[in-house]
């Protein structure tokens, strides 16, 4: 190591000069922390390596890829200037965090890129505040315990009310409780409140209950930090949050409030149960200047307060008219269930992993915050068109959906994302957040795992689950559903023609809707049972019509877990076969692993009964659930469908290739045929051919077709089948 290298090393910097657009050269290639980090991220440096390809650098640090746009502008500029990336975090395979910062500068016409490892200093600065953070953590713990108790109480009261206990009985049970409780009607009229509430708000105990409009006051006070609040409670969901509130004497205090609606059997909200605690003491000791104060303890991301400071700053500056700004409101799906199933520690681990993934998906000048619970927000700046936000959303959904290992299990999360944007020089942060929230809610209602842009119709009426359910029921009666058929092309010859039946809703107002827009609601409401029966019957009818036309096609129908477990399923299935005259061996049922989650033995028994009719079974979406290859041995299935997400990654991801190959090998041993779905490119097809997959389904051959289109394409499909067979 020469003196220069030694000095650079001492500064904790790796220095690179730009050789070309494709390559950098390391000035201090011996830099130990950099070597360690590269190795930890899966890109070990060779011993004598001095060059570093730009593409390798960008794969190592996706964050740098975006920074290079600004860096290049700096290097090409005529005047000397510097671009600085701001600090970002990388975590290596051992979980060690590196706080890094990149700088681009021009020295004697030479483009120089410096990456500084700020972790050592970071720690020093942090240790000074360690004490403050300890206190904050302790508070956080106390608050978290308080939250648990508060939620418990909320649940208890709601359960009592739903079990038809009179309001009076409930009132007696909560009188002495240390948490403040209020039960009111949707218009705010108070029916019950307890002593703790009187104490916190210094209410005059002789006051006329009906004249207290605490609910309105809370909604107003909390709305500043939680613009989504009204939407949440009007749509009948539970809400919790913290905000500053004023008592009747005018002094302010921090409260933590939970609001839960009580619904009558017809779905109308009859009451709100509100539980509050004064948390001023816990919040009061928060050292607002300490690093960490504006950050969430679990995810280390900026918290809600920090988010507001950031976005309000943006609102105060005049934004460039060339660019717009976008908000992506991310809410994880089913997080509560996972949290309950796996425990809080696993839940926290999940949240912090997701936080890292989200941060890695965005550009360095974008802002990511953890709003609390399972909600995140991304502020995307410098967009030219709203379509760019869709790309970010897609990237986020894909990153969140990558498998995760928790408690030795592999699981995959999904999220719902709402998007709002503004191209005005001055933004209205509250309105933007509200819009993103409404869009997120719409995405969730429409089936989760997707993103939606805000559109003003969302504001007019919050899509109400009950209303959607009613619409679905009407649609079933009015026969607005249609089955499309997507051919599966054989790669191994001799087999008959096959197609998967995929449902669509011909909506009178919104046009042809994909299943993502309604299946989840049908599942939640139980409507999936009659809907699914209709699908089976329709599939049988189609199969018979084709047969009568001299065309033999096996048809696979998707069966949801709920439908399969319905006691009448088997009878309905045999009725459909008998009444339509569909040969059982031409019908296939696609089921997912979730069907086996509970009560494995009785599901296996049912499947055996179904197979004894001659009906075949395909295991759908293989690889996305809690699947383990070992467990496949126990399941009586004829086909296995490798999920689209693996096929999509085949060309880039060795792991997906390895998984796909081992699934195919195992399936062969178990005598199960493999179908690959979502095949779009020739590369994918070639890989699958080499791996000897039996069938391929995907846009590369056909999109889902109407019945008539399938009939017309029959000869071509047959030909394709023969051509592609080995
Ligand atoms: P799935 O069972 O995984 O169905 C395959 C989905 O992948 C279909 O989407 C199909 O159109 C799409 N697809 C096929 N090839 C390609 C490709 O090359 N590229 C891409 N990007 N996509 C491709 P679709 O029709 O929107 O259905 C979505 C999901 O809705 C289905 O996923 C299935 O889980 C559910 N579904 C559809 N019909 C029914 C039904 O009748 N009953 C039930 N319970 N669920 C259904
Ligand atoms: Ca399917
Ligand atoms: Ca599938």
Predicted confidence band of residue 419 (pLDDT cuts 50, 70, 90): very high
Provide the H-helix boundaries in 478-599: 519-525, 528-548, 561-565, 569-580
In this prediction, residue 128 carries a pLDDT of: 46
Residues 667-685 have a mean pLDDT of 92
In this prediction, residue 645 carries a pLDDT of: 82
Predicted confidence band of residue 707 (pLDDT cuts 50, 70, 90): very high
Which residue CA neighbors atom 46 of ligand 1 most closely?
558
Tell me the per-residue pLDDT of 219-234, one tens digit each, with 9 for 90 and over.
899 988 898 888 888 8
CA neighbor of 444 nearest in space, from 517, 392, 535? 517
Q: Is the CB of 532 under 6 A from ligand 1?
A: yes
Share of the chain above pLDDT 70, in %: 91
In this prediction, residue 549 carries a pLDDT of: 95
- Looking at the CA of residue 560, tell me the nearest atom of ligand 1: 44
Which residue CA neighbors atom 22 of ligand 1 most closely?
678
Tell me the per-residue pLDDT of 608-660, one tens digit each, with 9 for 90 and over.
999 999 999 999 988 766 555 556 777 889 999 998 888 888 877 777 788 78
The alpha carbon of residue 232 and the mean position of all alpha carbons in its chain are separated, in whole angstroms, by 19
In this prediction, residue 630 carries a pLDDT of: 59
Residues 573 and 59: their CA atoms lie apart, in Å, by 51
Pairing of strands 481-490, 497-507: antiparallel
CA neighbor of 521 nearest in space, from 465, 437, 580? 465
Separation of 470 CA from ligand 2 center, angstroms?
Answer: 26
- Looking at the CA of residue 699, tell me the nearest atom of ligand 1: 18
More confident residue, 337 or 648: 648
Residues 55-80 have a mean pLDDT of 85
CA dihedral 571, 517, 392, 97 (to 10 degrees): -40
pLDDT beyond 60 at 726: no
In this prediction, residue 129 carries a pLDDT of: 46
Residues 373-392 have a mean pLDDT of 92
Is residue 226 packed enough to be buried (19+ CB in 10 Å), middle (13-18) or exposed (0-12)?
Answer: buried
Predicted confidence band of residue 14 (pLDDT cuts 50, 70, 90): very high
User: Which ligand is in closest contact with the Cα of 641?
Assistant: 3
In this prediction, residue 287 carries a pLDDT of: 45
Mean per-residue pLDDT of the chain: 85
Q: Is the CB of 649 under 6 A from ligand 1?
A: no
In this prediction, residue 686 carries a pLDDT of: 92
Residues 416-427 have a mean pLDDT of 93
Number of H helices, E strands in the chain: 28, 27
Separation of 503 CA from ligand 1 center, angstroms?
Answer: 8
Residues 282-301 have a mean pLDDT of 65
Which pTM does this prediction carry? Answer: 0.57
pLDDT beyond 60 at 673: yes
Q: Which residues pair with 486 in a beta bridge?
A: 500
Predicted confidence band of residue 709 (pLDDT cuts 50, 70, 90): very high
Separation of 502 CA from ligand 1 center, angstroms?
Answer: 6
Residues 372 and 685: their CA atoms lie apart, in Å, by 43
Residues 228-245 have a mean pLDDT of 85
Predicted confidence band of residue 8 (pLDDT cuts 50, 70, 90): confident
Contacts 24+ apart (CB under 8 A), 88-96: 88/63, 88/359, 88/364, 89/300, 89/356, 89/359, 90/37, 90/41, 90/61, 91/356, 92/36, 92/37, 92/39, 92/40, 92/41, 93/40, 93/41, 93/42, 94/40, 96/40
Which residue CA neighbors atom 11 of ligand 1 most closely?
704
φ, ψ dihedrals at 84, nearest 5°: -125, 135
Tell me the per-residue pLDDT of 532-553, one tens digit each, with 9 for 90 and over.
999 999 999 999 999 999 999 9
Tell me the per-residue pLDDT of 297-323, one tens digit each, with 9 for 90 and over.
778 888 898 899 999 998 888 877 788
Q: Is the CB of 620 under 6 A from ligand 1?
A: yes
Predicted confidence band of residue 140 (pLDDT cuts 50, 70, 90): low
Residues 478-487 have a mean pLDDT of 96
How much is the CA Rg of the chain, to the nearest whole Å?
A: 29
In this prediction, residue 504 carries a pLDDT of: 97
Which residue CA neighbors atom 42 of ligand 1 most closely?
558
Pocket test for ligand 1, best of 558, 621, 698 (most atoms within 8 A of CB): 558
More confident residue, 366 or 97: 366
Residues 378 and 399: their CA atoms lie apart, in Å, by 14
Q: Is the CB of 621 under 6 A from ligand 1?
A: yes
In this prediction, residue 131 carries a pLDDT of: 54
pLDDT beyond 60 at 463: no
Q: Is the CB of 512 under 6 A from ligand 1?
A: no
Residue whose tokens read 């990149």:
102
Q: Is the CB of 530 under 6 A from ligand 1?
A: no
User: Which ligand is in closest contact with the Cα of 697?
Assistant: 1
Least confident of 7-16, 83-92, 520-529: 83-92
If phi > 0 it is left, if psi is from -120 to 50 it is alpha, else beta; for residue 252 that is beta
Give the DSSP H or E segment for 628: none
- Looking at the CA of residue 704, tell me the nearest atom of ligand 1: 11
Separation of 678 CA from ligand 2 center, angstroms?
Answer: 11
Separation of 175 CA from ligand 1 center, angstroms?
Answer: 53
In this prediction, residue 207 carries a pLDDT of: 67
Other Cβ atoms within 10 Å of 51 Cβ, number: 14
Q: Is the CB of 487 under 6 A from ligand 1?
A: no
More confident residue, 382 or 554: 554
Separation of 640 CA from ligand 3 center, angstroms?
Answer: 10
More confident residue, 202 or 126: 202
Answer whether 613's CB lies under 8 Å from 574's CB: yes
Separation of 17 CA from ligand 3 center, angstroms?
Answer: 48
Handedness of CA 632, 534, 503, 545 (dihedral sign): positive
pLDDT beyond 60 at 502: yes
pLDDT beyond 80 at 357: yes
Separation of 515 CA from ligand 1 center, angstroms?
Answer: 7
For residue 360, CA distances in Å to 63, 295, 309, 356, 415 come to: 6, 18, 22, 6, 16
């Amino acid at each position: 190591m020469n003196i220069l290298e030694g000095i650079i090393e001492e500064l904790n910097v790796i220095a690179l000069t730009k050789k070309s657009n494709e390559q950098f050269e390391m000035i201090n290639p011996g830099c130990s922390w950099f070597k360690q980090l590269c190795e930890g991220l899966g890109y070990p440096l060779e011993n004598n390596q001095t060059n570093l390809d730009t593409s390798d650098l960008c794969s190592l640090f996706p964050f740098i890829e975006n920074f290079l746009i600004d860096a290049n502008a700096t290097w090409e500029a005529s005047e000397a200037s510097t671009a600085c990336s701001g600090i970002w975090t990388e975590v290596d395979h051992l979980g060690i965090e590196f706080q890094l910062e990149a700088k681009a500068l021009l020295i004697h016409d030479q483009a120089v890129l410096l990456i500084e490892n700020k972790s050592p200093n970071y720690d020093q600065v942090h240790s000074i505040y360690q004490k403050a953070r300890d206190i904050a953590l302790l508070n956080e713990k106390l608050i978290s315990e308080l939250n648990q108790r508060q939620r418990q109480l909320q649940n208890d009261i709601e359960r009592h009310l739903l079990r038809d206990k009179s309001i009076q009985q409930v009132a007696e049970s909560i009188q002495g409780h240390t948490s403040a409780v209020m039960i009111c009607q949707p218009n705010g009229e108070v029916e019950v409140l307890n002593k703790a509430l009187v104490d916190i708000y210094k209410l005059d105990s002789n006051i006329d209950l009906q004249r207290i409009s605490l609910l309105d006051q809370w909604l107003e006070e909390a709305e500043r930090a939680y613009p989504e609040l009204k939407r949440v409670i009007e749509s009948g969901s539970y809400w919790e949050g913290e905000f500053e509130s004023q008592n009747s004497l005018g002094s302010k205090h921090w409260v933590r409030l939970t609001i839960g609606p009580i619904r009558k059997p017809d779905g109308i909200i009859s009451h709100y149960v509100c539980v509050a605690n004064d948390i001023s003491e816990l919040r009061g000791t928060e050292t607002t200047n300490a690093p960490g104060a504006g950050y969430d303890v679990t995810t280390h991301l900026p918290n809600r307060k920090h988010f507001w400071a950031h976005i309000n700053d943006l609102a105060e500056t005049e934004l460039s008219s060339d660019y717009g700004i976008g908000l992506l409101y991310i809410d994880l799906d089913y997080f509560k269930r996972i949290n309950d199933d796996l425990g809080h520690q696993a839940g926290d681990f999940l949240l912090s992993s997701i936080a890292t993934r989200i941060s890695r998906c965005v550009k360095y000048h974008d802002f990511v915050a953890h709003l609390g619970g399972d909600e995140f927000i991304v502020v995307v700046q410098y967009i030219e068109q709203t379509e760019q936000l869709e790309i970010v959303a897609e990237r986020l959904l894909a990153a969140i959906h990558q498998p995760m290992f928790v408690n030795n299990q592999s699981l995959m999360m999904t999220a719902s994302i709402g998007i709002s944007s503004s191209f005005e020089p001055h933004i209205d942060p509250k309105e933007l957040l509200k819009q993103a929230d409404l869009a997120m809610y719409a995405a969730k209602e429409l089936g989760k795992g997707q993103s939606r842009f805000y559109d003003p119709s969302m504001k007019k009426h919050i899509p109400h689950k009950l209303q959607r359910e009613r619409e679905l029921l009407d649609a079933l009666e009015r026969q607005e559903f249609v089955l499309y058929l997507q051919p599966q092309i054989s790669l191994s010859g001799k087999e008959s023609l096959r197609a998967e039946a995929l449902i669509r809703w011909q909506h009178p107002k919104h046009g042809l809707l994909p299943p993502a827009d309604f299946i989840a609601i049908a599942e939640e409401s139980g409507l999936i049972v009659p809907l699914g029966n209709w699908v089976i019957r329709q599939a049988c009818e189609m199969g018979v019509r084709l047969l009568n036309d001299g065309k033999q096609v096996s048809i696979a129908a998707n069966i949801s877990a709920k439908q399969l477990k319905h006691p009448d399923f088997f009878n309905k299935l045999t009725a459909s076969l008998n009444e339509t005259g569909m040969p059982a061996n031409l019908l296939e049922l696609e089921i997912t692993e979730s069907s086996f989650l509970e009560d494995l033995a009785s599901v296996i028994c049912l499947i055996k009964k179904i197979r004894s009719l001659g009906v075949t079974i395909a295991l759908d979406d293989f690889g996305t659930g809690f699947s383990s290859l070992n467990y496949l041995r126990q399941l009586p299935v004829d086909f296995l469908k490798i999920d689209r997400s693996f096929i999509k990654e085949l060309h880039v991801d060795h792991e997906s290739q390895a998984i796909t190959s081992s699934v195919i090998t195992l399936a062969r041993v178990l005598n199960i045929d493999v179908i690959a779905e979502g095949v779009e490119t020739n590369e994918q097809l070639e890989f699958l051919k080499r791996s000897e997959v039996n069938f391929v389904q995907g846009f590369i051959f056909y999109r889902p077709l109407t019945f008539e289109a399938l009939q017309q394409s029959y000869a071509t499909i047959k030909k394709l089948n023969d051509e592609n067979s080995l």
